A and B are shown apart, each in its own frame.
Chain A
Amino acid sequence: MTGPRPAARRRRPFGEVPGLGTLAAGFLVFLYAPIAVLVAYSFNAGSIVMVWTGFSTDWYARAFANADIRQAAFNSLVVAVTATAIATVVATLAALVLARGGRFRGSEAVLGLISLPLMVPEIVTAVAVLVFFSGIGLNLGLGNVVIAHVTFCIPFAFMPIRARLDGMDTTLEQAAQDLYASEWATFRLVTLPLLMPGVLAGAMLSFVISMDDFIITMMVAGAGDTTLPVYIYSMIRHGITPEVNAVSSILLLVSIVLVTLYWFMTRTGPGTARR
């Protein structure tokens, strides 16, 4: 039975575990199959989600024609844009102070406070804000939603901005001062342009996080202030039609496009990944 050793028995390098590639490929299938299924069924002609009856774009047409969906999408956009704008400005200011202001007493505490929304479970934040708003009688309609979104968007906007600042070479700012740029000129001409990719990344994350938020919005939003995820949730609750799939697919597409765009944006352009 002893023949020449088969080639496969040769010693393989440490990292090359057999089947790892298959596992990784399987993992990608696991990640994307549910999304693919969802999108596929959004083109189902029949009205029962699970039974395939033929290809159709009717559900998209219906979704677009649905005034409630349009209103919810509009609300989502208003909330996301406003919350992103406020959170990004607030986070940029905080990041500049924390990264460039030198060490001071309490800087650790401020950092902890800013990352707090990442640590507290969303459902806890949601009910706490609900109780708080009803307690103080604050009723600004979508304004309430915006306030809640700004709060949890701040750390998401903060992280990439801070990371960018930490990665930036401070001698560039010294070089500007050396070349007669005042503090303000240095900030305007050197710091801010180099920080922009970080600010954009922060804004992008905020936007996506705000667009996707469901739990906090569900608790905080009043009857007329439904956002798209909250509307989708109520559709799922009240009986699933392919219309949900169509709306969901659109929402997925927006996120995917934004994230991919951001990814390519940060990959090119001057001043990236340079130390």
Chain B
Amino acid sequence: MTTAGAGAARPRAGAGGAGPAAVALRDVAKTYGRGAHAVEALRGVSFEIRDNEFFTLLGPSGCGKTTLLRAIAGFEQASAGAILLFGADIVDVPAHRRPVNTVFQHYALFPHMTVAANVAFGLRRLRRPEGEIARQVAAMLALVKMEALADRLPGQLSGGQKQRVALARALAPAPKVLLLDEPLSALDLKLRQAMRQELKQIQATTGITFIFVTHDQEEALSMSDRIAVMSEGRVQQIGPPAEIYEHPANRFVAGFVGDANFIPATVVGEEGGRVRCRTPAGLVLAAGAAPSPPGGRGTVLFVRPEKVGLVPAGQGTVEGRVRGLQYLGDAVLIEIDIGEALPLVASERMARLGQAARRPGDRLGVVLDPAALQLLAG
């Protein structure tokens, strides 16, 4: 196990390092209850998390992300499949023997122990020499900037401070993998944003593999090396943030990660690596196709609001009329009727808007660039 700081020189994740994955999941399934009341929390999840990676499990509540995290921690027994930690199967290893530590959602600090005793807890259980424990506790408290409050009890700390102690406590034994279960969800917005940066930095400094669970797409996009988007007990897509955002694998991912316009469409032809699609209203548009072939539930065209170009009437791919406006401060959302069942939403930065403020009823041209349009499984 590495001590804090020593990992700084290690190669960054994603560099295609050799050796086994930090965590490998093989067909992991988890079913609660039996018979008619059975609930499948995980339905055959398989993927690998690389060493030294900041990996995020993203999804709505009930998607199975927390169950998966708890299965890795050892708090839940997977119903089927294998969980490998650096090549070794840990399914039968009890939680207290797994070299992984967890930052709990509501911190779970021991209320009867001081901050220092909380941080030392894991090291004491591992029977480390007292000198080393003292050094490591001091180093960890310094890392999270909590040295001054070492003798406080958790009840005397603010939410943000508890968060830092929880982090220091989980990092102290220098685990191979750190599990973070929505650790920022109980903090207020400003603190949450500040902590994102700090978490990212701590991960880089310590070189420990972070597995981060969240339902907040912004959090996931801003911190992760790679993201696994989960829904209904399955992994929908795995990839770096930009890939997830720019090239979602399906309609669920596109809709969950960021805002999206969906226009039902059928494929009518192909040309130059692009597909030609027809919408119910008769528009024929060229678009890129998603990497996976469209499934059985029909297909939709997908475009992000900020990728919808707005030009004066008569100059666009499609003609439209402004139906409504939503002022957001730095940007404005514009609902445009283009003759489809649902209006198209475009977002325009305020800086570019200038004096040309739009009004409901205005006619304008809409540019739907084939590079921005994608055909997805519905």
Q: Give A contacts to B, CB under 8 Å.
A: 169, 171-172, 174-183, 185-186, 189-190, 193-194, 270-271, 274
Contacts and interface: CB of A to CB of B under 8 A. Distances in A.
Contacts of B170: 178-179
B111 A177 contact: no
Contacts of A181: 96, 121, 125
B110 A178 contact: no
The dominant DSSP class at the B interface is mixed
A179 B101 contact: yes
B155 A178 contact: no
B97 A180 contact: yes
Nearest to A179: B122
A194 B111 contact: yes
Describe A's contact surface by its main secondary structure: helix
B148 to A, nearest CB: 20
A174 B155 contact: no
B108 A172 contact: yes
B248 to A, nearest CB: 34
**Interface-central residue, B112, B154, B155, by most chain A CB under 10 Å:** B112
B110 to A, nearest CB: 6
Given A169-B106, A270-B153, A270-B155, A178 B111 contact: no
Contacts of B104: 171, 174-175
A180 to B, nearest CB: 4
A5 B375 CA distance: 75
A271 B75 contact: no
Given A177-B96, A179-B101, A274-B111, A185 B125 contact: yes
Quick one: which of A171, A175, A182, A190 has the most chain B CB within 10 A? Answer: A175
Interface in B81-115: 94-97, 100-102, 104, 106, 108-112
A190 B97 contact: no
B73 interface: yes
Contacts of A190: 110
Give the top 8 A-B pairs by smallest Cβ distance, nearest first: A179-B122, A180-B125, A271-B111, A175-B108, A177-B95, A171-B108, A177-B96, A178-B102
Contacts, number: 76
Contacts of A179: 96, 101, 121-122, 125, 169-170, 173
Contacts of A271: 111-112, 155
B126 interface: yes
A62 to B, nearest CB: 48
B365 interface: no
Interface string B131-143: 0000000000000
Contacts of B111: 172, 194, 270-271, 274
B32 to A, nearest CB: 13
A169 B154 CA distance: 14
B74 interface: yes
Given A171-B104, A194-B112, A271-B112, A178 B73 contact: yes
B74 A177 contact: yes
A70 B96 CA distance: 54
B121 to A, nearest CB: 5
A182 B96 CA distance: 6
A177 B100 CA distance: 11
A3 B95 CA distance: 79
B155 A180 contact: no
Given A185-B125, A270-B155, A177 B94 contact: yes
Nearest to B114: A270
6 contacts: A172-B108, A176-B121, A178-B95, A179-B169, A179-B173, A194-B110
Nearest to A186: B96
A264 B324 CA distance: 62
Interface string B319-356: 00000000000000000000000000000000000000
A193 B112 contact: yes
Interface in B259-313: none
Contacts of B110: 172, 175-176, 190, 194
A269 B153 CA distance: 11
Contacts of A176: 96, 110, 121
A172 B155 CA distance: 14
A185 B121 CA distance: 11
